[in-house]
Amino acid sequence: MFDDVDLHRYRNIAIGVLAGMYVWSIIDITLGPEASVPPVAMELRPDGFMVVKTFPF
């Protein structure tokens, strides 16, 4: 039913869709209405660091 050519084509299409969604999300994050509020921050600790999410309200 499926041959290798079809599977490679479907894989390439899925990779392209994923890359497009990733680029679109980066554009949305940087230019969206909440662009002035940093969505993720890094908190330094003595034993390393912790990534925290901020919620504006």
> What are the boundaries of each domain within the chain?
4-53
Q: What is the mean pLDDT of residues 1-25?
A: 88
The span from the CA of 28 to the CA of 1, in Å, is: 40
Q: What is the mean pLDDT of residues 34-49?
A: 76
Identify the pLDDT of residue 22: 96
Q: What is the mean pLDDT of residues 31-41?
A: 69
Alpha helices in the chain (DSSP H): 4-31
Q: What is the mean pLDDT of residues 10-23?
A: 96
Identify the pLDDT of residue 35: 57
Residue 15's Cβ-side half-sphere holds a number of Cα atoms within 13 Å equal to 6
**More confident call, 8 vs 19:** 19
Residues 6+ apart with CB under 8 A from 56: 34, 37
